[in-house]
Structure 1
Amino acid sequence: MARRRRGLPVDGVLLFDKPQGASSNQILQRVRRLFQAQKAGHTGTLDPMATGLLPICFGEATKFSSHLLDADKVYRTRVKLGEVTDSGDAEGEVIERHAVPVLDEAQLEAVLARFHGEIDQLPPMYSALKHQGRKLYELAREGKTVERAVRRVTVYDARLLAHDAEGFELEVRVSKGTYIRTLAEDIGRALGCGAHITALRRLKTGPFSGEAMLDLPTLEALEDQPAREAKLMPVDVLVEHLPALGVDAEQAGRLLHGQPIRAERRDLATGSLARLYCDETFLGLGTVKAAGEIAPRRLLNTSAVAGDGRV
């Protein structure tokens, strides 16, 4: 007999403002309990020191969370010059100290320009990447260092917001997999004095900005479950960047039973993904096959009644 999942079948996306000091998983579990949700997951870990945008997906939305994991991100960070820590941030131990040269804005901008575009990064030991089944930060806490593969990432923009004798503030837009701690360390190395970050806030991930974020006190102040669920965004916001395709009830029934359908859409490239809707109800994603065929790719747990106009 299948084990019944505890909690309520909550579906949707919450844009959460993560506070400093808590891990992403700790926040996820607190929010999941607050919503009494059966299933939830976050999209893109933030370090305990970091704050800002942490999208949390509930229920059916978790099926499409990978689209946010692959999205570009925007961060604001404070970089302290003259000190290198073992973790790359203010929570680590200082392992090097260097004199900080007198730098004007033009000199800083010239160094920052060297980090625009595609760059190679060595992932830090204090990260959630795994080596032989163990997370790197677990090994780092044991004083161990293992070999890591260099990654190719993209810094689309690194805008200098402010600077003083001790460091500077940046707003950066980067591709997935970019470590801001490592970027700051590399910039500090290029300046000849070392660096680490003392503050980090995520402002944007993919299409979502911090303007719609909610924090824990705001959520806890809501009166009941319907009021909390009213704050969730619909599941399909995660895939709004994909083209939409409407189908009738008979086609919806075929798709939801794992069968392909015909669709005369010349503008959809073979191998691409499309959002599927029936009477404005989101069904999930389909893959465009050759000769105008759409095959189900990832669908919601939605029952279909073929031929009567309902889904």
Structure 2
Amino acid sequence: MVVATVAETKKQKRALSGVLLFDKSTGFSSNQALQIVKRLYRAEKTGHTGTLDPLASGLLPLMFGEATKFAADLIDASKTYRTKVRLGFSSNTGDAEGELTKVSTRALESITLDEVKQVCAQFVGEIQQTPPMFSALKKDGKPLYEYAREGIELDRPARTLLIHQLDVMKVEHNTIHGEGSCTIELEVNCSKGTYVRTLGEDIAKALGTAGYLTELRRTAIGDLKVERAYTLDALKVLGESETPFDALDAVLFPVDALLGSLGKVELNNEFARRFSHGQRLPLSLVDAKPGRVRVYGETSAQDVNTEVSNTAFKGNSRFMGTGILETDGKGALLRPDRLIQVNL
């Protein structure tokens, strides 16, 4: 019999699955945050989606185990941010980390709340946005920010984006180092690929001046909200309890928390078994909406009972993965898309 030493036990990785809503603070990257939490959980397999720069804080979903298979599902989800834009100065990076240059094109004290609201209204809906040079987009396999650090400016095609909502929370006038200053606070809900730094710069330009981001906080990704997220300090407190892993695991959301926008199909034992083996299933669904769906299998034998809805399953079921539902008005065919390991 082989007995593990204390050191080996401490290093042992755990094969757990779930989603942690993490509230990242400023000062470290998304990957650094992931590695810290991974060590805290002693997790075997981890991943994250929706990268936040070191300057940014807020919601960063971290995936464990089987949940990593669905990380890409959050990429297409809309994002909500709270941000502050200081007017009258430009930054070569678009944020407080860059080199600042004063721009005296108009009197900042004349900027009013009504004017900012009118300008921001022009940015709601479809917009064209040119990605910043200080970004991770690549040209010939090299990130744009590396070109920018070398003083090289490249042509970047504008991209079509969607600003779902843009609210002006506050316009604040104050004095910094003896000079008048104006900062606008915004909340924006936008499509994937939106650079809030660039949006802030474009709004400032439309106001007749320049601007850069001083704060950026992500408050939501799709239906996931930062109010339900845990900070690193809060996780460390759980990790110091009498049963640390029980406490830490209790705050994880199930794997399917990433897929709340998808429809739902529920299968009985026999259909679930066949689905888990990669078989296509003919279903008696007439009014079902075709497309990608969440699939759940019952853990006890019952009559075939399938439905598509967004309501919680009231019986004893287990998430199996996603499927593609094809319909012809007379019935439906469910084929496996992305499966997770389950024991039915």
TM over 0.5: yes
Deviation at 1:227, TM superposition (A): 1.3
Partner of 1:141: 149
Deviation at 1:182, TM superposition (A): 0.4
Return 182-191 or 220-229, whichever deviates more: 220-229
Deviation at 1:142, TM superposition (A): 2.5
Which structure 2 residue ranges, 5 or more long, are not aligned?
A: 1-11, 174-181, 299-316
Partner of 2:95: 89
Aligned to 1:285, which of 322, 339, 342? 322
2: CA distance, partners of 1:42 / 1:63? 11
Aligned to 1:62, which of 68, 74, 91? 68
SS in 1 for 2:115: helix
Deviation at 1:268, TM superposition (A): 2.3
Aligned to 2:198, which of 173, 179, 182? 182
Partner of 1:108: 116
The residue correspondences of 1:239-254 to structure 2 (distance < 5 A) are 239-254=259-274
SS in 1 for 2:202: helix
Partner of 1:3: none
Deviation at 1:189, TM superposition (A): 1.1
1: CA distance, partners of 2:284 / 2:136? 44
2: CA distance, partners of 1:11 / 1:204? 22
2: CA distance, partners of 1:138 / 1:245? 47
Give the counterpart letter for 1:238 in structure 2: L
Aligned to 1:20, which of 26, 29, 41? 26
Aligned to 1:202, which of 218, 223, 235? 218
The alignment-based identity, stated in percent, is: 43
2: CA distance, partners of 1:157 / 1:69? 19
Partner of 2:166: 158
2: CA distance, partners of 1:86 / 1:180? 15
1: CA distance, partners of 2:28 / 2:106? 32
Matched, 1:130 2:170: no
Aligned to 1:236, which of 248, 256, 261? 256
CA deviations on 1:71-128 (whole Å, 9 max, x unpaired) are 1111111110111111100111124522443112221111111111110111111112
Count of aligned pairs = 298
Aligned to 1:118, which of 94, 102, 126? 126
> Which one has a bigger Cα radius of gyration?
2
2: CA distance, partners of 1:96 / 1:150? 26
Aligned to 1:274, which of 290, 293, 307? 293
2: CA distance, partners of 1:89 / 1:174? 19
CA deviations on 1:205-224 (whole Å, 9 max, x unpaired) are 10011111101111111121
Partner of 1:212: 228
Deviation at 1:267, TM superposition (A): 2.6
Aligned to 1:31, which of 31, 37, 44? 37
Change (3 A) 1:100 1:78: farther
Deviation at 1:185, TM superposition (A): 0.5
Partner of 1:308: none
Return 43-52 or 140-149, whichever deviates more: 140-149
Give the counterpart letter for 2:232 in structure 1: L
TM-score (norm 1): 0.92
SS in 1 for 2:234: helix
TM-score (norm 2): 0.83
CA deviations on 1:48-77 (whole Å, 9 max, x unpaired) are 101111111111111112221111111111
Return 168-177 or 246-255, whichever deviates more: 246-255
Which structure 1 residue ranges, 5 or more long, are not aligned?
A: 1-5, 304-310
